[in-house]
Amino acid sequence: MPFNIDWQTIDDVLLDMDGTLLDLHYDATFWLKTVHSIVASFTGESENEIRDRFQNELKKHEGTLAWYCTDRWAEFFGIDLIEAKKQLAHLIRYRPHAKQFLEALRPLPLRTIIATNAHPDVIQLKLDVVPLSTLVDGIVSSHQYGVAKEHPSFWTALFDEYSIDPNRAIFMDDSPRVLDAADRAGVREIVEIRHPNLSEPPRTTWKQGIDDFDALLPELLALGQQ
Ligand SMILES: [Mg+2]
């Protein structure tokens, strides 16, 4: 369903990283396939056994910081996860029009902040491939605040640190649980990214969303020319 964002009433653009600015295919491939084959190659377990063990453990931590903590999973698997993730770095890439979207925001009187559940080591790994930091005003990992974006305390900590008025903010993410949390925290405009993984079809879970950033570009580019 089409919707309008009144950009003149927005001060802060808060953006998720994986599945929003970047293709989730990288993360999905790593966590669903690559990590299990690496572990299988030196433990002798089957990939399915390792995957089952991982899924059981993962379920216990859904929506918490532990779910996103690479240190924790490195210990669980007994491998250097960052080194393992580097093997797939060729799959790290922007989602369609994400870079143009960030560039279109630059000349506008808006602050752009990436708010991600990714561990700082993983953020750095991605920034080495996709230089996001030059296109935004800040990058926040929920690990800095000790709680995941799904938790209300993440939002109060973020609003405090950056003096954000949630009623003049927009937030975009591909996770319905995180979108719910931002909504409950009072963020005025919530936009679901409906095509997080470019190797899968788009899907809809939230009342307001876009497949790709090209849906928002014409208005932003027009604002930039005013
Ligand atoms: Mg995401």
In the reported structure, the alpha carbon of residue 36 is separated from the centroid of ligand 1 by a whole-number distance in angstroms of 22
In the reported structure, the alpha carbon of residue 27 is separated from the centroid of ligand 1 by a whole-number distance in angstroms of 10
Tokens, residue 92: 């790290």
Query: Which pLDDT value is given to residue 4?
Result: 85
Other residues' Cβ atoms within 10 Å of the Cβ of residue 32? 12
Give this prediction's pTM: 0.94
| CA 75/CA 62 separation, integer angstroms | 18
> CATH top-level class for 7-23+92-224?
alpha beta
Please report which confidence band the pLDDT of residue 159 belongs to, taking 50, 70 and 90 as the band edges: very high
CA distances from 112 to 10, 70, 107, 170 (A): 11, 26, 11, 10
**Predicted confidence (pLDDT) at residue 59 exceeds the cutoff of 50:** yes
Q: pLDDT (tens digit, 9 = 90+) per residue, 42-57? A: 899 999 999 999 999 9
Q: pLDDT (tens digit, 9 = 90+) per residue, 177-198? A: 999 999 999 999 999 999 999 9
In the reported structure, the alpha carbon of residue 177 is separated from the centroid of ligand 1 by a whole-number distance in angstroms of 10
Q: For the packed helices 70-77 and 35-43, what is the interaxial angle rounded to 10 degrees?
A: 30
Q: Domains of the chain: which residue ranges? A: 7-23+92-224, 26-90
| 8 Å CB contact between 93 and 22 | yes
Tokens, residue 215: 């849906």
**Predicted confidence (pLDDT) at residue 224 exceeds the cutoff of 90:** no
In the reported structure, the alpha carbon of residue 20 is separated from the centroid of ligand 1 by a whole-number distance in angstroms of 6
Backbone angles phi, psi at 208, to 5 degrees: -130, 125
Ion ligand 1 residues within 5 Å by Cβ = 16, 18-19, 174
178 torsion bin: left (phi>0), alpha (psi -120 to 50), beta (else) = alpha
| CA 190/CA 171 separation, integer angstroms | 5
Q: pLDDT (tens digit, 9 = 90+) per residue, 96-143? A: 999 999 999 999 999 999 999 999 999 999 999 999 999 999 999 999
In the reported structure, the alpha carbon of residue 44 is separated from the centroid of ligand 1 by a whole-number distance in angstroms of 32
